[in-house]
Amino acid sequence: MRKNIIAGNWKMNKTASQASEFLHELSSRMGSKDEVVIFPPYLSVAAAVEALKGTKVRVGVQNMHFEDSGAFTGEVSADMILESGCEYVLIGHSERRKYFAETDETVNLKTKKALQKGLIPMVCVGEDLDEREKDLTFDVIGRQLEIGLSGIAPASVVIAYEPVWAIGTGRTATDEQAQEVCAFIRKTIAKMGFAADEISILYGGSVKGSNISSLMAMPDIDGALVGGAALTEDFINIINY
């Protein structure tokens, strides 16, 4: 049985005090039966974990290194993440790929390390506007999956499909476009040996309270990775869809 997951990626937003205030309010109004995961910035993780004690809301981080320790200024390890109280880690988000030289190969190393340490990796894939207009969507996502998940036994992986052209632009893939790609992802990982019917596949890209219900009605969409709306009151509408 696939788990429905609503995740909020705060990116570089909310200080520790702002996180604490927002999450206390969020948890008091949340009625969702789905798994809810919050990805705050590193310095707000402790405040988020504390604010969510006694609730079912999970906390994750937005990135991690694939080594256990070393001279990697500005990075954090899986052990550090686990000790902070987090359970999830975002891997391969399009902004990490675009601005910080993340590759399919480093996605693979990070995913393997997360699984080895007992973290749940939420692996992001997606095409940009140029790739979609050139009809390369399936080629791009197929490559990202085949390299990013190479050598990984069927395990506790969550996959998030985020069309880059729909992130923070106000443009959203239609329900049918999102479903088409999520179905392709499921078929691709099934061919790779994963128990595809047990793996949650999320959609991300300008998800709002006004479109979450129709997205969640699609047969291969098991949740949402929410960006801008996760920072606002609308996130309550999303998780209580």
Q: Tell me which of 35, 65, 93, 95 is the catalytic residue.
A: 93
Annotation says 25 is catalytic: no
CA dist., res. 108 & res. 104, Å (int): 6
Annotation says 93 is catalytic: yes
CA dist., res. 218 & res. 225, Å (int): 15
* Residue 122 backbone phi and psi in degrees, to 5: -105, 100
CA dist., res. 161 & res. 123, Å (int): 9
List b or e across 88-112, with b for residues whose CB sees 16 or more CB atoms inside 10 angstroms. Answer: bbbbbbbbbbeeeebebebbbebbb
Q: Tell me which of 35, 95, 131, 162 is the catalytic residue.
A: 162
CA atoms within 13 A on the CB side of 198: 7
**DSSP label of 151:** T
- For the annotated catalytic residues, the residue numbers are 93, 162
